[in-house]
Amino acid sequence: MTERTEKEKATQSLLYNASYDKELIDERAYCKALCYEYNRLHPAKIGERTTLIQKLFGKTSGSFLIEPPFICDYGYNIEIGNNFYANHNCIILDGAKIVFGDNVMIAPHCGFYTAGHPLDAERRNAGLEYAYPIKVGNNVWVGGNVVVLPGVTIGDNTVIGAGSVVTKNIPSGVVAFGNPCRVIREIIDEDKKF
């Protein structure tokens, strides 16, 4: 039986070495170069911006707009649905897959972090980390300065309030906010009036 690569371990949500593995270091360097290029483009160069994101991401569907600056680790683990919008300073640490549904709106200064590190200092200092996938459903609005942590799923038609730290799954059709983020209430027909 052949030993798994660090990249294979990452895709299986096992501890892997991201700090000292040449394959992963090279892939991050390639991704950072594309992000650098993207972030230096003139705002009017929408076509070039779109092409770079399509080159960087694992999957894009339909229209999208990502305001620079934008940073990610690998890019190929990111999938976005149609009508995706991310405002300035979005950071996606995509050691594992991150899937965004259709009609997702992300406010400024948000982070989606699949990566985490062991609490044990010896393993952490050895460069080990883990990566758990994140899934964001359709018709989700994420307020400013939100952080979504490894392994979280956010359901369809949900609003995450500004400043939240999302540590656990959030169901569909709710307003949730806080640190840690928690469901405050369901979204109801009355909300259509505002």
pLDDT digits (tens, 9 = 90+) for 139-191: 999 999 999 999 999 999 999 999 999 999 999 999 999 999 999 999 998 88
In a domain, 110, yes or no: yes
H-run or E-run covering 177: strand 174-177
Radius of gyration in angstroms for the set of CA atoms belonging to the chain, rounded to a whole number = 17
Task: Give Cα separations from 3 to 7, 8, 20 (angstroms).
Answer: 11, 10, 17
In a domain, 194, yes or no: no
Q: Identify whether 88 is a catalytic site residue.
A: no
Please identify which of the residues 42, 88, 109, 117 carries the catalytic annotation.
Answer: 117
In a domain, 1, yes or no: no
Cα 110 from Cα 145, distance rounded (Å):
5
Tally of structural domains, the chain: 1
Q: What are 146's two structure tokens?
A: 């939100």
pLDDT digits (tens, 9 = 90+) for 39-97: 999 999 999 999 999 999 999 999 999 999 999 999 999 999 999 999 999 999 999 99
DSSP state of 21: -
What is the domain-level CATH number for residue 95?
2.160.10.10
In a domain, 168, yes or no: yes
In a domain, 176, yes or no: yes
**What domain range is 161 assigned to?**
6-189
Query: pTM of the predicted model, to two decimals?
Result: 0.95
Cα 116 from Cα 130, distance rounded (Å):
5
DSSP state of 157: T
